[in-house]
């Protein structure tokens, strides 16, 4: 009787073990053929999609002379999701970026400037192009005012004061030239609807020297919030 009980227990254990192995094999087979079935939640507000252009092949003639090649282009971008939390930190980074652009003689690569204010605060005025209601300057000017809930009849001095107050551009912290540069940058960011889903392109097609200059400051923590968009362009050899 005792031997029969031992045998029954042994058979029961083997059945349970076999059943577990069978379930494991079935699950493993499903994962390998269909992939894991777990649904992961992704917070869209904290994600960013980056499109990377593929590098196309180069073309040579029968003598090995390059006919069609590739050229790398670098655009300097400021990213909303990576920017510091305080205006003081953001302003410091922006001024360092502008300093790097000037030191590497890349000022001509700055993005198109629609800043409508001329002069040095408080002696400021609107640029002449703003009085042309069909101009790009006027179109973007109205968009910026609407975005910030500002009156359409706001004066140049009032608009300058608005950015000084909002972006903490105190004359005790910054020179008149720095205040003007920062006001222009903040205005430009408003113009392009800078935010979670829209970066701001500070400069286009910049030199590798500027890339190195900025990346060194990024590595040391002097500049925060910038990145470079790298694209490949086709170059055709006329020879």
- Report pTM: 0.69
**What's the token pair of residue 7?**
């045998």
The C-alpha atoms of residue 213 and residue 103 are separated, in whole angstroms, by: 9
pLDDT tens per residue across span 137-149 = 899 999 999 999 9
The C-alpha atoms of residue 74 and residue 140 are separated, in whole angstroms, by: 26
The residue ranking higher by pLDDT, 114 or 11, is 114
Average pLDDT over residues 9-18: 70
Please classify residue 111 by burial: count the beta carbons closer than 10 Å to its beta carbon, then call 0-12 exposed, 13-18 middle and 19+ buried.
middle
Residues 6+ apart with CB under 8 A from 81: 46, 48, 196
66-101 burial code (b ≥16 CB/10 A, e <16): eeebeeeebbbbbbeeebeeeeeebbbbbbbbbbbb
**What's the token pair of residue 60?**
């040579």
* Strand 66-78 relative to strand 117-120, pairing: unpaired
Please check the confidence at residue 62 and state whether its pLDDT lies above 70: no
Residue from 191, 203, 190, 200 nearest 225 by CA: 200
* Strand 117-120 relative to strand 123-126, pairing: antiparallel
Q: How confident is the model at residue 51 (pLDDT cuts 50, 70, 90)?
A: very low
Average pLDDT over residues 168-180: 94
The C-alpha atoms of residue 177 and residue 132 are separated, in whole angstroms, by: 27
Residue 234, number of CB atoms within 10 A of its CB: 11
**What's the token pair of residue 195?**
């935010």
Please check the confidence at residue 156 and state whether its pLDDT lies above 90: yes
Residues 6+ apart with CB under 8 A from 228: 74, 75, 76, 77, 211, 214, 215
- Stretch among 53-67, 148-162, 208-222 having the lowest mean pLDDT: 53-67
The C-alpha atoms of residue 190 and residue 163 are separated, in whole angstroms, by: 11
């Amino acid at each position: 009787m005792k031997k029969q009980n031992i045998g029954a227990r042994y058979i029961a254990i083997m059945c349970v073990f076999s059943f577990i192995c069978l379930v494991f094999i079935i699950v493993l087979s499903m994962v390998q053929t269909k992939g894991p079935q777990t649904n992961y939640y992704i917070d869209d507000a904290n994600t960013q999609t980056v499109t990377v252009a593929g590098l196309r092949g180069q073309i040579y003639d029968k003598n090995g002379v390059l006919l069609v090649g590739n050229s790398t282009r670098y655009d300097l971008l400021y990213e909303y999701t990576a920017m510091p939390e305080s205006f003081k930190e953001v302003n410091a980074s922006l001024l360092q970026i502008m300093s790097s652009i000037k030191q590497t003689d890349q000022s001509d690569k700055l993005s198109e400037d629609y800043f409508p204010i001329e002069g040095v605060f408080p002696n400021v005025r609107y640029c002449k192009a703003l009085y042309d209601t069909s101009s790009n300057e006027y179109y973007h000017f109205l968009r910026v005012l609407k975005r910030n809930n500002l009156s359409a009849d706001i004066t140049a001095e009032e608009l300058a004061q608005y950015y000084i107050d909002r972006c903490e551009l105190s004359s005790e912290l910054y020179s008149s030239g720095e205040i003007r540069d920062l006001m222009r940058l903040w205005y430009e960011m408003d113009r392009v609807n800078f935010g979670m889903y829209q970066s701001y392109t500070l400069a286009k097609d910049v030199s590798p020297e500027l890339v190195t200059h900025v990346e060194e400051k990024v590595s040391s923590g002097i500049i925060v919030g910038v990145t470079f968009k790298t694209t490949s362009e086709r170059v055709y050899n006329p020879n």
